[in-house]
Amino acid sequence: MSAEGRPPRRRWKLFQWPGAKGTDDGDLAGDEQPADAGCTRIRDCAEGPKGREVVRVAGTLRAVSERTVAGMPALQAELDDGSASLDVVWLGRRSIAGIEPGRAVVASGRIVRSHGRQVLFNPRYQLQPRGQE
């Protein structure tokens, strides 16, 4: 209790993503990290003995299509980083603004194997600014 008989006010901390402006978690001269900082090459992503670890990959969307998975709509895209490609699938979505062929994307999640292909289901993703593809 404070001196006035009221409970003390809570002070909230704002969360900042790593690499966000104002954070000091890189050795770059500017305030921003490059899009592929901390990313794993797609060809190096695999299910290891420790289980499916969360990976972060960066690449260009080569193809985007709509399909049905277990009776529900899904948006599927092929993400290619030059070393290999994988499928990125958003379940329950028919489209997502900005998800289109030629767009650079950073995505993170757990990779699984489905029909012989590596797949990221419902990943966290960040669209890169146009012109930086």
What pLDDT is recorded for position 38? 83
Mean pLDDT of each 10-residue bin along the chain, 133 residues long? 58 44 39 65 73 86 93 96 95 95 95 89 93 59
Tell me which residue has tokens 């289109």.
100
Strands 85-91 and 117-121: parallel
In a domain? residue 94: yes
In a domain? residue 52: yes
What pLDDT is recorded for position 126? 96
User: Count H helices, E strands: the chain?
Assistant: 0, 6
Query: What is the domain count for the chain?
Result: 1
What CATH code is carried by the domain that includes residue 72? Answer: 2.40.50.140
Strands 117-121 and 104-114: antiparallel
What pLDDT is recorded for position 1? 54
Q: Nearest-CA neighbor of 81 among 100, 56, 98, 99? A: 56
